[in-house]
Structure 1
Amino acid sequence: MARNVEPMFSAIDAMDVEGFLSNLAENVTFQFGNAPALVGREAVREGVVAFFSSIAALRHEMTGKWEADEITILRFMTYYTRHDHNEVEVPCAVILHHAENTLIDDYRIYIDLAPVFAPPVGGEQVAAAH
């Protein structure tokens, strides 16, 4: 079944926490990179609000999408704008499990955020290696 997840990523790119959360089941498990998994929509809200405060902006460019039954796998190039106005690009993959009501009950993001928070080198940010 084809699922339209693009509006959810538009909400993320707009840093619209409530718009993002509207796609998640109440009992969602959410794991971002190597951070501990968050369980429940309220825990995800707190985690996402904290993360959004650590960056100035972000945007996703989808470079792949695969679906099988209740699973959606996405590949992105994600662009983070730091508070120092440098933009850093980082590849990532997202695996979503959709509950029977189509809300997402398991959300895993595979990404290395180290380049986003690394200090600029020579006054300019070094982009992540591809």
Structure 2
Amino acid sequence: MQTLERGWTLDAATAWARDLYDNGVDQRDAARFAAAFTDDGWLRFGNNEPLVGRANIEAAIAGFFMAMQSLRHTPARTTVAGNLLFLEATVTYLRHDGKEVSVYAMTVFEMAEMQGTPRASRCNIYVDLAP
């Protein structure tokens, strides 16, 4: 597995992120989200313990998606530094009680290349889910 430091441009990173969020996360497709990770990918959501491996990531994110009717990400800024991808966004959740809640979120991906395809090897999601 190689890092993406060479050739990982802002345009490429933005396209990768938009595809992941538009066609995976905002569709509440946990399998699609987990597929964006390397086989031994690592995810920490807030203050929860890290999840390691695609199967564990998929199961936990599927449970998270069940806690709401829908969600949508409105990107604010995308930054690339070497093989790190920083995504700032406003996330709007439609809760099961019909209330819509928007919160600010920051996601940091450490990227790697797996069989010629960009994949996340690590991911930290920073968001306050209290509302």
Q: What TM-score bracket applies, with the shorter chain setting the length?
A: 0.7 to 0.9
Q: CA deviation at 1:25?
A: 0.7
Matched, 1:9 2:25: no
Stretches of 4+ aligned residues off by more than 2 angstroms: none
Q: CA deviation at 1:100?
A: 2.8
Higher RCO structure, 1 or 2 (CA under 8 Å, sep 6+): 2
Q: State the aligned residue count.
A: 115
Task: Kindly provide the amino acid, as one letter, of the partner of residue 8 in structure 1.
Answer: L
Q: CA deviation at 1:36?
A: 1.1
Matched, 1:27 2:43: no
Q: Which residue of 2 aligns with 1:103?
A: 119
Q: CA deviation at 1:21?
A: 1.7
Rg comparison, structure with higher value: 1
User: 2:35, 2:54 within 8 Å by CA — same for their partners in 1?
Assistant: no
User: 2:29, 2:62 within 8 Å by CA — same for their partners in 1?
Assistant: no
Deviations 1:73-100 (A, max 9, x none): 0100000110011110000100000113
Choose the corresponding residue for 2:72, options 52, 59, 65: 59
3-state SS of the aligned residue for 1:94?
Answer: strand
Identity level (%):
28
Higher strand share: 2
3-state SS of the aligned residue for 2:103?
Answer: strand
Q: Which residue of 2 aligns with 1:48?
A: 61
Q: Which runs of no fewer than 5 residues in structure 1 stay unpaired?
A: 116-130
Choose the corresponding residue for 2:52, options 35, 39, 44: 39
Q: What is the TM-score when the length of structure 2 is the normalising length? A: 0.84
Q: CA deviation at 1:35?
A: 1.1
